[in-house]
A = this chain, B = another copy of it.
Amino acid sequence: MDPKQSEDVFSAFVDEYQKNFFEMLFRFESKAEPIKEAWTREDGRGHGLTCVIQDGNFFEKAGVNVSRITIPLSQGIFQQMKGRRVPGSNLDQIDMNNLGQYDTYANGVSLVIHPINPFCPTVHANFRTIRIKERETGKVIDSWFGGGSDLTPIYLFDEDAKFYHQNIRDAIVEVTGDDKLYRQFKKECDEYFVNHHRKEARGIGGVFYDDFNLESFEKGLEFQKAVAYANLKSYEAIINKRKDTPYNDENVRWRTFRRGRYAEFNLIHDRGTKFGLMTPDARIESILMSLPLTARWEYNYHPKEGTEEARIVGVLLKPVDWV
């Protein structure tokens, strides 16, 4: 597939996934009106569609964002990419002293969903392609996929964690023939989504990958789709199962406290957020839509031993092999 065509095919997947995911949310939400904002960069080099639910009867906040931007390849971005790309990648062709003639093109969907019921987990996912192009000619020098999805329960149901991981694993096995990539990307997820300053994972993981290609664009896209729809279907099933669990003020307090931790990760550690905030004239509201509607920081709070709150904190201190 030629590069222009593959870009369009990827965009179609991204747009359709956004639509499907946002529609799924309204099988639960019945109060909040959908907020849909199309935006374009002032310099004309980017556009997107931000879809948000806020202050609903089911979701406290939910954002599903598509973004397609082209920005100059800066020294900082290039060094970061080069540090992670496999040796022998086409990035080696790039003349460090002439970075100014290249652009970074990023095209993807990202979502963060914060339900109200503390027994319904938060989910995050992102599926993107990155391309390095010659600005003049548009020639693609290098391109790869990145993304993943992960679950952040407020209260832990082991069966939900297993179900979520199992479905993503099975989807990857179906595309690649074995679970090697699941195991590799599950480990990367466990290592990445960590509040390192607390030595505590953000959630129970999923998969996370970057600088990733399979033998063809088509196969890579198939992989992205498989993970994306495993995530959508698993999440829908989980919140459907937990949506009627009764909860009290203490459960809400714990939810709001855990959302403080979520905000910490996104603001201190998340590479995607940093990339966004560093992008000149970025659309801040789309980048920070991932932040919860409400968060809480209590000084030196530790749940009592033997409680469900203490149990999940214990699990977050050490990654679990859920499958």
- Please list the residues of chain A having a beta carbon within 8 angstroms of any beta carbon in chain B: 35, 37, 52, 54-55, 61, 63, 197-198, 256, 260, 263-264, 267-268, 277, 282, 284-285, 288-289, 291-300
Contact = CB atoms under 8 A, between A and B. Distances in A.
A197 B263 contact: no
Contact of A285 (B35, B289, B300): B300
23 contacts: A35-B299, A35-B300, A52-B299, A52-B300, A54-B298, A54-B299, A55-B298, A63-B299, A197-B277, A197-B284, A198-B284, A256-B294, A263-B263, A263-B295, A264-B267, A267-B267, A285-B299, A285-B300, A291-B297, A292-B297, A293-B297, A294-B296, A295-B296
- The main secondary structure of chain A at its interface with chain B is mixed
What are the 4 tightest A-B residue pairs by CB atom distance, in nearest-first order?
Answer: A267-B267, A291-B297, A285-B300, A197-B277
B284 A289 contact: no
B268 A277 contact: yes
A1 B277 CA distance: 47
Contacts of A55: 298
Could you say how many copies of this chain the assembly holds?
2
Contacts of A264: 267, 288
A256 B282 CA distance: 25
Nearest to A198: B284
A299 B290 CA distance: 9
A299 B61 contact: yes
Given A197-B277, A263-B267, A268-B267, A293 B289 contact: no
Q: Which of A268, A282, A294, A295 has the most CB of B within 10 A?
A: A295
Nearest to A289: B299
A291 B260 contact: yes
A52 B277 CA distance: 32
Contacts of A285: 299-300
Contacts of A61: 297, 299
A55 B256 CA distance: 15
B298 A295 contact: no
Nearest to A276: B197
A143 B268 CA distance: 30
A268 B300 CA distance: 21
